[in-house]
Chain A
Amino acid sequence: MNSQFWLASLVALAAALPAAADTAPGDVAYLDGAVAESLSGVAGDPAAGAKVMTTRSQGNCVACHQISAMPDVPFQGDIAPALDGVADRYEEAQLRGIVANAKMSFDGTFMPAFYKTTGFIRPGDDYTGKAAPEDLPPILSAQQIEDVVAYLLTLKE
């Protein structure tokens, strides 16, 4: 086994667990819906963000939003505004706030809150239909939110 493999699996492990430096979902400071500080303290990776956005069990943003820059992704939904040019419309802090908890920006919106762990009615354990565990994790990790924001920032007209 070469050292590159070991490095890769360490990185994978680090991504799965909340990092110590993460801002916990309950501690995120929203100002008019925007979040100024990085949630993980680590710069986002747009390629990883794109993956999160198109993976069903993760962000699955394309279930509702169309993104012309992702022509290979089939079945993009049309529930929500297309995300084309979204970086021209919003600052980074606003995008972070929308992805972490869109309800802080758009009152009562259909868009799920991806970095929130409390205040749900009958929360479940993922898509099993069973009750959620005590320590329900957010849908996306702090780093995944940062990765998604980094990708959104590439969407300029």
Chain B
Amino acid sequence: MQRRRTTRNFAAAAAFGLALAGMAGADPAEDTLEVTTDDGTITLTTMAPASEAVKDVFDTVYSGWHYRDPDTRDMERDDFDNPGMVFVDLGLEKWEEAIGTNGESCAGCHQGPESMAGLRAVTPRVDATTGKLMIMEDYINTCVTERMGLEKWGTTSGDMKNMLALISLQSRGQPQNVAIDGPAAEYWEKGKEIYYTRYGQLEMSCATCHEDNNGRYIRADHLSQGQLSGFPVYRLKDAGLVSAQQRFVGCVRDTRAETFKAGSDEFKALELYVASRGNGLSIEGVGVRH
């Protein structure tokens, strides 16, 4: 399985956080993301020809990694420097722990976390058995409640995000490849509608920032294409993990709007749609952003 090498130094993370002031060059940086891992060096695809879903608006899609400053980009080049890896370890502890009401653990049913390889790359998806659109949080909570007899974990709780990080890392390097046809089509359409709706008192949509203005600065923030390939990401500003659902809440709140809830039908559909805009980009496992 993919794991970080040793414990990371938080003081260094805080120092980098303070150093993020520099803002050079407005376009996505020309750079390559090679990551040093326990199992050697891997090269991630952080720019790719636009997928079917966005080829009428972009030629090329870029991971948000290209829009961050050099210090932040560097932190993702080595698992040893990536502060998100601490949470992967916490996820692994939980994975192995007998937390179920009858002593079940994730590992008891699934063996090692590498059994989850590939899943992150194809979710959200319409689940073949339930026929419902499922985000990773839904899969995790199905096990937590139905198979372990526990209260469900909060969508943006620490346990949930640590587990997202662990499972996401197992798909690192695989191209994001969510299905948008068949039973997914109706959810995809709904997500798309949300993406282009100008919410809130500021009347802004995802597209006004991430499609029309990516590469520009909105105050200190260098606007990316708003891709999900890095998620969950370690965010220096919050000194913690941020999931896609949580990021959506923040972005919609910033338009002076009444947000949808993390884990709501609306944001699940949005996650499917936004993920499809980045089909072809490598899953980064745990990205680093500021």
A78 within 8 A of B: yes
Question: Looking at the complex, which of A1-9, A88-96, A131-139 is the stretch in contact with chain B?
Answer: A131-139
B200 within 8 A of A: yes
B252 and A129 contacting across the interface, CB-CB below 8 Å = yes
Complex Cα–Cα for A64 and B198 (A): 17
- Which residues of B are found within 8 Å of A75, using beta-carbon distances? 23, 217, 219-220
Complex Cα–Cα for A112 and B208 (A): 12
A77 within 8 A of B: yes
Complex Cα–Cα for A79 and B202 (A): 15
Task: Decide yes or no: A113 and B256 within 8 Å by CB, A79-B217, A121-B197 being known contacts.
Answer: no
- Which residues of B are found within 8 Å of A37, using beta-carbon distances? none
Majority-rule SS of B interface residues:
loop
The 7 closest A-B pairs by CB, nearest first: A129-B253, A75-B220, A131-B258, A129-B259, A63-B219, A112-B202, A124-B257
Nearest CB of B to A116, in Å: 8
Nearest CB of B to A55, in Å: 12
B258 and A77 contacting across the interface, CB-CB below 8 Å = no
Interface size classification for chain B: 20 to 34
- Which residues of A are found within 8 Å of B252, using beta-carbon distances? 129
Task: Decide yes or no: A128 and B200 within 8 Å by CB, A63-B218, A79-B216 being known contacts.
Answer: no
Q: Point out the residue from A74, A112, A128 that lies within 8 Å of B203, measured CB to CB.
A: A112
A: residues with CB less than 8 A from B are 56, 60, 62-64, 74-79, 103, 110, 112-113, 120-132, 136, 139
Nearest CB of B to A66, in Å: 10
- Which residues of B are found within 8 Å of A64, using beta-carbon distances? 218
A79 and B218 contacting across the interface, CB-CB below 8 Å = yes
Q: Mark B199-232, 1 if CB is under 8 A from A, else 0.
A: 1111110001000110011111000000000000
B257 and A122 contacting across the interface, CB-CB below 8 Å = yes
